[in-house]
């Protein structure tokens, strides 16, 4: 009798026998919230499902507090008068993502939160090697950061419900919905780059 599992597509992580995600202890991991800014809510780049995603960001912050995990806020800094101008509404943190007292803020100018920033030094100072990543957009800054994290020797998890994306034109014609862009990005990350956790409760 043929084993139906033989023909099931498998991720590279499965094929390598990678262990399942284990809930980190205090001092083992940090939460990284990427670009939870108003540009994605009321600005020029409104995202599909942003209200639900921000609700999950709130739950993620509560979960981090329960587990004793530090939270690092990554903020995209755009040009004055443009997208993500931090002196304008679009560059402001969303209410549920407003940094708390003592929480680290890292400013970036590129999708990858490690590029041209002190994020790696901050993580080294905390002594963590695991990252729990959430924010916006899934296919852009979340993906870029998680991929870079692997190159730097970190193990990452992405909280799916605390991320989202926007609709994009398909090369050659058509449009991919924000939901499908989000799912495709998570699928690609789950192949090799990160554990994909449904929600904060799965941490």
Residues with a catalytic annotation lie at: 35, 108, 141
Segments of 109-194 assigned E as strands: 130-136, 155-164, 168-169, 175-176
User: How many DSSP H helices and E strands does the chain contain?
Assistant: 5, 8
Cα 18 to Cα 171: distance, rounded to the nearest angstrom = 34
Segments of the chain assigned E as strands: 29-34, 71-76, 104-108, 130-136, 155-164, 168-169, 175-176, 195-197
* Vertex 145: Cα angle to 143 and 146 (nearest 5): 65
Quickly count: other Cβ atoms within 10 Å of residue 85's Cβ: 17
């Amino acid at each position: 009798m043929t084993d139906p599992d033989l023909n099931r597509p498998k991720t590279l992580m499965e094929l390598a026998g990678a262990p399942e995600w284990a809930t980190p202890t205090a001092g083992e991991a940090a939460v990284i919230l990427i670009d939870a800014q108003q540009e994605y809510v009321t600005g020029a780049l409104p995202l599909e499902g942003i209200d639900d995603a921000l609700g999950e960001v709130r739950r993620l912050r509560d979960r981090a507090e329960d587990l004793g995990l530090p939270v690092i806020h990554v903020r995209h800094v755009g040009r004055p008068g443009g997208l993500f101008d931090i002196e304008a509404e679009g560059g402001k943190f969303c209410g549920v993502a407003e940094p708390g007292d003592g929480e680290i803020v890292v400013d970036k100018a590129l999708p990858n939160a490690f590029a041209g920033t002190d994020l790696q030094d901050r993580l080294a100072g905390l002594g963590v090697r695991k990252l729990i990543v959430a924010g916006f957009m899934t296919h852009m800054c979340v993906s870029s950061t998680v991929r870079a994290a692997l190159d730097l020797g970190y193990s990452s998890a992405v909280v799916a419900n605390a991320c989202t994306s926007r609709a994009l034109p398909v090369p050659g014609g058509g449009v991919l919905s924000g939901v499908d862009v989000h799912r495709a990005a998570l699928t690609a990350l789950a192949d090799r780059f990160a554990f994909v956790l449904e929600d904060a409760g799965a941490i």
